[in-house]
């Protein structure tokens, strides 16, 4: 790891606005969705049309299934 220059700051952007900057934090809601391997695109397109963003896909209970984790901002 390189040395930092005096006075330099490392900035990390997480995609979440924090209260530190005077703006409200984004609140998220999450859902897990079983996904059939042969219908992956149709299932994810349907959820995406409702505003859900894919976070991760992991193996399901058998080779024909996956589990998708999705999130979207909470609208208040």
Per mean pLDDT, which range of 15-19, 54-58, 67-71 is the poorest? 15-19
Does residue 61 register a pLDDT over 80? yes
- Domain boundaries defined on the chain: 26-73
Whole-structure pTM value: 0.67
Where does residue 40 fall: left (phi above 0), alpha (psi -120 to 50 degrees), or beta otherwise?
A: alpha
Q: What CATH number is given for 26-73 in this structure?
A: 3.30.70
19-42 residue pLDDT tens: 566 677 889 999 999 999 999 999
Q: How far apart are CA 28 and CA 75, in angstroms?
A: 9
Q: How far apart are CA 68 and CA 8, in angstroms?
A: 40
State both tokens at 45.
Answer: 């397109």
């Amino acid at each position: 790891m390189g040395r930092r220059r005096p006075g330099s700051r490392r900035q990390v952007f997480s995609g979440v606005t924090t209260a530190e900057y005077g703006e409200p934090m984004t609140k998220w809601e999450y859902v897990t969705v079983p996904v059939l391997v042969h219908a992956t695109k149709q299932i994810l397109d349907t959820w995406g049309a409702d505003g859900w963003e894919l976070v991760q896909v992991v193996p399901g209970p058998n080779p024909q299934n996956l589990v998708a984790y999705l999130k979207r901002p909470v609208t208040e």
